[in-house]
Amino acid sequence: MELFRALAIAAEPPQHETMRLLALLGVDGVITRADYTDLFVLQLPPYASVYLGAEGMLGGEARDRIAGFWRALGETAPTEPDHLAVILAVYAHLAEQDDAARGPRARAAAHRARSAFLWEHMVSWLPAYLTKVRDIASRPYAAWACLLQTALLREARTLGPPTGLPLHLRSAPPMPAAGDDLRELLASLLIPVQSGLIFTRADLRRASQTHGIGLRAGERLFTLTQLVLGHPEVLPWLEREANAWRVRHERMDPVLAPITAHWASRATAAARAVTAFRHALR
C-alpha cells in the first residue's frame, strides 16, 4: 500500500521531496505552492467533511463519523481525521494490516475494517472530488487525481461491493421542496452531498464569464446569490451544470454503482429544483 501513502503526499503543501515522490509515480511537471494554494485552499479543500457533511462545511458530524472510525479501532483520532492525506495514510495502514493479519478472526476483522473505511470514507466522495480536480487543476495535480482514481477503482473491485450505502450518504439531507426561497435553493446547491454537485469558485467565475457579468466578491453563496438575483439567466445555466454532473456520475465505473447512483440522483433532484424555481419565477 505504498502507493496510497505516496499519493497522500500530494495533498500536503509541496516540499522539496514532493516532486521526487510524484516523479516516482510517473507524475511529471512542477507543482508550485501557488498551484497547491489555488487547488486545495481556494477551490477544493481536501477534507471529506466538506463533501460529505450536511452543511457542506469543514468539521461537523461528517468529521466526527470519521473520527468515530478511529475510536472504534481503539485509536485517538488526529486533529483532522478527514483530511485527504490522513485518510489515504490510514487506508494504507489498514490495508497493510489486512495483508499482514494472521488467523481467520484477525484476518476477517482487518479486512472488514479496510473495506468499511474504503467504502464509507473514501469512495463515498472521492470519485466526484477527483473528477473535479481533474477538471480544474494543473497538469501534475490532474495526473495525480487520475492515478488516485485508478487506484481507488482497483481497491473497490478487489474488496467487492459495500454492504450498504455509506452512512454519510444515508444521512444526507434531501433537496428542499420546490418553493420561492432562492437563498435556500442556492445554499443547497453548494452542499455536495445534498445536491450531487461540486461548485467551486472557479465555476462561479466561469458562470460570470459565460454571461458577461461581473462577479461580486464574497463567500460562494453570496456571490452565487448576487449572480442569480441580477441575472436570472444564470438559472438555466445552473440546470445545465446539474445535469452535466448527473451524466458524469452515471458514467463512472460500474463498480462504484451504489455510490454514484446516489450522487446522480441528487444531481437530478438539483436540476429539478432549479427548474421548479425558474418556473415558479415566471
Partner 1 sequence: MTLDELTKRLSAARKAVEARGETFYPGPSRIHLASFPPQERWDDWVELDSRSWPERTERRYMLVPTTCFNCESACGLLAYVDRDTQQVRKFEGNPEHPGSRGRNCAKGPATINQVTDPDRILYPLKRAGARGEGKWIQVTWDEVLDDLADRIRTALQEQRHNEIMYHVGRPGEDGFTERILAAWGVDGHNSHTNVCSSGARAGYQYWMGFDRPSPDHANAEVILLVSAHLETGHYFNPHAQRIIEARQRGARVIVFDTRLSNTATHADFWVASYPGSEPAILLAVANHLIQNDLYNREFVRQWWNWREYMEVEHGDTAPTFANFERTLKDVYQSFTFEFAAEEAGIDARTIAAIADVVATAGTRLSTHNWRSAAAGNEGGWQVSRTLFLLNALLGAVATPGGTYPNAWNKFVPKPIYTPPHPPRWNELTWPVEFPLAMNELSFLLPHFLRDGRGRVDVYFTRVYNPVWTNPDGFSWIEVLTDEALVGLHVALTPTWNETAYFADYVLPMGHSAERHDLHSYETHDAQWIGFRQPVLRAMRNRAGDTVEDTRQVNPGEVWEENEFWIELSWRIDPLGTLGIRQYVESKEHPDTKLGVDEYYAYAFEHSVPGLPERAAAEGLTALEFMRKYGAFEVHQTIGPIYAQEVPRDDLQDIGEDRFGRIYTRAPRAPSPNIVPQPSPEPDAEGRRPIGVRVDGEILRGFPTPSGRLEFYSSTLAAWGWGDRAIPWYLRSHVHPENLADGQMPLISTFRLPVHIHTRSANAKWLDEIAHTNPLWMHPIDANRIGVETGELVRVETEIGYFVVKAWVTEGIKPGVVACSHHMGRWKITDVGQRQLMTTAALAQQGSRWRLARKRGVEPYSSGDPDTRRIWWTDAGVHQNMTFAVHPDPVSGQHCWHQAVRVRRADLGDGYGDISVDTERARAVYREWLRKTRSAYEHSPDHTRRPFWLLRPLKPPKEFFQLPEPVGGGSS
Do 146 and 138 meet the contact criterion of CB atoms below 8 Å apart?
A: no
Give me the long-range contacts of 105-110 (CB less than 8 A, separation at least 24): none
- With CA atoms as reference, report the closest residue to 35 among 171, 136, 111: 136
Q: List binders of partner 1 among 13-32 (CB under 8 A).
A: 15-18, 21, 24-26
- What whole-number distance in Å separates Cα of residue 14 and Cα of residue 12? 6
Judged by CB under 8 A, the residue of 6, 58, 167, 257 near partner 1 is 6
188 binds partner 1 (CB under 8 A): no
260 alpha-carbon distance from chain centroid: 12
Instruction: Give the nearer residue to partner 1 in terms of CB position, either 23 or 244.
Output: 23
73 binds partner 1 (CB under 8 A): no
58 binds partner 1 (CB under 8 A): no
Q: What number of chain residues touch partner 1 (CB under 8 A)?
A: 30
CB of 158 to partner 1, least distance (A): 11
- What whole-number distance in Å separates Cα of residue 16 and Cα of residue 32? 10
Instruction: Considering only the stretches 6-14, 129-137, 187-195, 214-222, report the one whose residues sit in contact with partner 1 under the rule CB under 8 A.
Output: 6-14
CB of 108 to partner 1, least distance (A): 25
Instruction: Give the nearer residue to partner 1 in terms of CB position, either 6 or 221.
Output: 6
3-state secondary structure (DSSP) of residue 83: strand
CB of 220 to partner 1, least distance (A): 26
Instruction: Give the nearer residue to partner 1 in terms of CB position, either 127 or 196.
Output: 127
Instruction: Give the nearer residue to partner 1 in terms of CB position, either 18 or 49.
Output: 18
Backbone CA torsion sign across 76, 100, 259, 132: positive
What is the DSSP annotation of 218-241?
SSHHHHHHHHHHH-TTHHHHHHHH
Backbone phi, psi, residue 214, to 5°? -75, 160
Do 273 and 239 meet the contact criterion of CB atoms below 8 Å apart?
A: no
CB of 154 to partner 1, least distance (A): 6
Kind plus residue range of the DSSP H or E element containing 96: helix 84-100
123 binds partner 1 (CB under 8 A): no
Instruction: Give the nearer residue to partner 1 in terms of CB position, either 21 or 202.
Output: 21
Q: List binders of partner 1 among 141-170 (CB under 8 A).
A: 147, 150-151, 154
Judged by CB under 8 A, the residue of 2, 99, 181, 233 near partner 1 is 2
What residue spans of the chain are helical by DSSP H? 2-8, 16-24, 33-36, 48-52, 60-72, 84-100, 104-117, 126-136, 139-159, 167-170, 182-189, 192-195, 201-211, 220-230, 234-250, 257-281
CB of 103 to partner 1, least distance (A): 26
- What whole-number distance in Å separates Cα of residue 259 and Cα of residue 250? 10
Q: List binders of partner 1 among 75-114 (CB under 8 A).
A: 76-80, 83, 85-86, 88-89
CB of 54 to partner 1, least distance (A): 23
Contact set with partner 1 (CB under 8 A): 1-3, 5-6, 8-9, 12, 15-18, 21, 24-26, 76-80, 83, 85-86, 88-89, 147, 150-151, 154
